Amino acid sequence: MSRMLSDLLGAKEQELRYMISKLESASGHPRSDIRLGADIMRATQEKIRQLGLDPFDTSGTELYEALHMRLLADNDRLMESIGLAPDQSHQPNEILSAVSSLVRHLDVPLGCLALKTTSARAILKRNPPLKTMKLLGYRSLESLLKREQPAQLIAAARIIETAHWRRSLVKEYKKLTPAGFEQRSIEVFFPRTKRWEIATQELTRSNREVCLTLPELGAVVVLPISTDLPALAITSLLLILDGMNAIRSASALFKLRQVKADFGSLVADSISGQDYSIGRIAGRSLSWQVMQYHYSRLSSNELPLVFEPHVQPEDLRLISMERALAKHLPALEFWEDTDNLAYLSDRQPVSLNMLDVALCSVNRLGFSERVVNYVRSRVWRDLLERYLNAENLEEALSQLGDKVQGEFADMPGTMELVRA
């Protein structure tokens, strides 16, 4: 089974086998890798059957094409559900606007700990985004800050401004304390003015980004675009929800570490999008995302003492993107529980992960160019999570406890167009 997992993960089989042996030893030899591989294989075969194909006599290209056609059909269904007839021509920004509005009506957790608007404006005053101000047509910083949302400005500035400006932003973030944050709902912004289209058109054309996530601001900014793309509605919706999960994950970590003296450095690090290591299991780094995923799946609301009093079970809940879409539109139920599924074709994975499939479709990628990034990250997450048990969790939590010990002495309060 290690060969199958190494092929799915793009890892060297010998190295993966050694890592798994260490995890097996640390967790009492539960043979979790074999169970995971068998679960993935069985569930993948069932999804292939649901597509009308034979799981034992289907080529990778046939499956890839079937997934592509299914995704496009589901994109049409989604378009119709948000009031856009799929057989008519729609401007890309009309689609993005409707999708941004839909997010507000989905049954998903929205709470997060985010930088106050006043704190964000103060940072922008001290670190004026002059190039952004010029591109957006403002003559004064006061007018810019009065009329534009700080989250939108920081999103644009992180693209438009110089490396020096970005370094200055990081320095400002490192000075932050929890007093500058507040509990609120995640916001999705979609700036649509002509100036915004001009300011961001180079990014959407060259870097192919459509959604920018700002965990520290609890915001996802959807950029206006002018290029017609297939499956834009479903892809942008998935990217927004994925960004919201990143915000939820960062928020829970902010809450957990709000009594730590390097809180500002943690906020600054959130810009990079890299996951935070909370300790080690069998010599391997255990990420905050894996730990959060583990506790978000438990039916019990009881959490270890190290999470108290700042982190509650609700804070750890993540959005199941496929489930949220199926609840909104039952015709999309096919994609439920596909986030870690893949079919091996000549020892190379064909991803059934909905976001991987969507990115392939929206970017018009051929079979040889297919995306597998998301399914690989989910398989890695699931592999490590299955090895978490009472003993190694206690060890990891003790390391986490060491990281969150100590308080601020004088703290004034504690509280992708598309990436392929």
The pLDDT, as a whole number, for residue 279 is: 78
The two structure tokens encoding residue 125: 């005053």
Residue 285 β-bridge partners: 280
- Which residue in 30, 27, 35 sits closest to 2, CA to CA? 35
Write the DSSP string, 172-184.
HHHT--GGGEEEE
Q: Over its length of 420 residues, how does the chain's per-residue pLDDT go in tens digits?
A: 678 999 999 999 999 999 999 999 888 888 999 999 999 999 999 999 999 999 999 999 999 999 999 999 999 999 999 999 988 889 999 999 999 999 989 999 999 999 999 999 999 999 999 999 998 999 999 999 999 999 999 998 988 899 999 999 999 999 999 999 999 999 999 998 888 887 777 666 655 668 899 999 999 999 888 888 999 999 999 999 999 999 999 999 999 988 888 899 999 988 877 778 877 787 778 889 999 999 998 877 778 888 888 899 999 999 999 999 999 999 999 999 999 999 999 999 999 999 999 999 999 999 999 999 999 999 999 999 999 887 777 777 776 655 544 332 233 333 344 544
pLDDT of residue 366: 96
- Which element (helix H / strand E) includes 281? strand 277-281
Q: Would you say 82 and 99 are in contact if contact means Cβ atoms under 8 Å apart?
A: yes
3 state SS of 398? helix
pLDDT at 207: 54
Distance CA 127, CA 260 (A): 26
The predicted pLDDT at position 282 comes to 75
Whole-model pTM: value is 0.91
Which residue in this structure is represented by tokens 């398989």? 379
> Is there a contact between 277 and 299 (Cβ–Cβ < 8 Å)?
no
Give me 406's structure tokens: 């100590």
State which amino acid sits at residue 29: H
pLDDT, residue 411, reads 30
Contacts 24+ apart (CB under 8 A), 137-141: 137/195
pLDDT at 203: 63
pLDDT of amino acid 119? 97
